[in-house]
Amino acid sequence: MILFSLKDELHSKCECDHGYTGEMCEEVAAQWAEWGQWSPCEPICGVGRTHKRIRICIRANHSNCHGQTEQVSFIQS
């Protein structure tokens, strides 16, 4: 669905639905894949150690995803 903001006929602007971009909302916007599995604890599990997971940006139109590629979590116990 394309919504038009009618300032005047010569200067109208499309507002795209979520997930679409482009002058006529014809391009699928870049979006994140699901988060991967948490890595093993580094260097070993225990208080103060970390583990991480990553996700991949799927770029349909060579644009960038917004947000983090990697999450790091500290082990509490």
How does pLDDT run across 14-49, given as a tens digit for each residue?
788 877 777 778 777 788 899 999 988 776 766 778
**Integer CA distances (angstroms), 77 to 39, 49, 66, 70, in order:** 16, 9, 32, 22
Bin 9: left if φ > 0, else alpha if -120 < ψ < 50, else beta: alpha
How does pLDDT run across 49-69, given as a tens digit for each residue?
888 999 998 876 666 888 899
3-state helix vs strand vs coil in the chain, percent to 5: 0, 35, 65
Residue 71, pLDDT score: 95
Write down the domain spans for the chain.
Answer: 2-74
Whether the per-residue pLDDT at 3 is higher than 80: the answer is no
Residue 68, pLDDT score: 92
